[in-house]
Amino acid sequence: MISQDTISNPLSRTSCENETDCSKAAIFPCHHCSKRLCLEHINEHNELNIIRIEELSDEINNLTEFLSNFGTEKSFENARNQLNIWKKQCFDSIENIYEFHLNEINNLEIELNFRLNIFKENFESTISDLKSQLSYFKKISEISQQVISSFILSFFYFFE
Ligand SMILES: [Zn+2]
Ligand SMILES: [Zn+2]
């Protein structure tokens, strides 16, 4: 608070220039607004300055705290995490494509082996028939050109 004793130039007698009408004599130029004010309004305006100083002090404290907590660690940690997530997604994607094609190869192998076994069984059965016919003809020592031709045809039928 500013007391009457601290005020200089008490001889000035202009009216208080406060926003609200005040008939008291102005005794001092205000540090807050530069108007000439009475003691009461000087003190009021001084309170505003004190409030503003407290606000500025709070702002400085907040800024200091913000700067003390501010670091690059978190940002880089975040970037590393994002990169690791991306890497895992790529690996997962490659693993899925690999599994899909491995499965296709395995299924093709099963299918081909199945067909090959059927072919082998049929082939062996036909060969067995032809062999017995051949031994029969050998045994009776009699075979026509026509029979030999049909014999050869039956044999090569498999490879067409
Ligand atoms: Zn003022
Ligand atoms: Zn006043």
What are the tens digits of pLDDT across the range 18-44?
888 889 999 889 887 889 999 999 999
Q: How far is the CA of 15 from the centre of ligand 2 (A)?
A: 8
Q: How far is the CA of 50 from the centre of ligand 2 (A)?
A: 19
Give the per-residue pLDDT at 12. 47
Please, are residues 60 and 45 in contact by the beta-carbon 8 Å criterion?
no
Q: What is the mean pLDDT of the chain?
A: 87
pTM beyond cutoff 0.75: no
Q: How far is the CA of 35 from the centre of ligand 1 (A)?
A: 6
Residues whose CB falls within 8 Å of the CB of residue 78, separated by 6 or more in sequence, listed in order:
none
Q: How far is the CA of 29 from the centre of ligand 2 (A)?
A: 12
Q: Which residue has the tokens 């907040």?
A: 62
Alpha-carbon span 16 to 24, nearest angstrom = 6
Alpha-carbon span 69 to 152, nearest angstrom = 93
Q: How far is the CA of 56 from the centre of ligand 2 (A)?
A: 27
Residue 120 has pLDDT above 60, yes or no: yes
User: Residues with Cβ within 5 Å of ion ligand 2?
Assistant: 16, 18, 22, 24, 38, 41
Residues whose CB falls within 8 Å of the CB of residue 33, separated by 6 or more in sequence, listed in order:
45
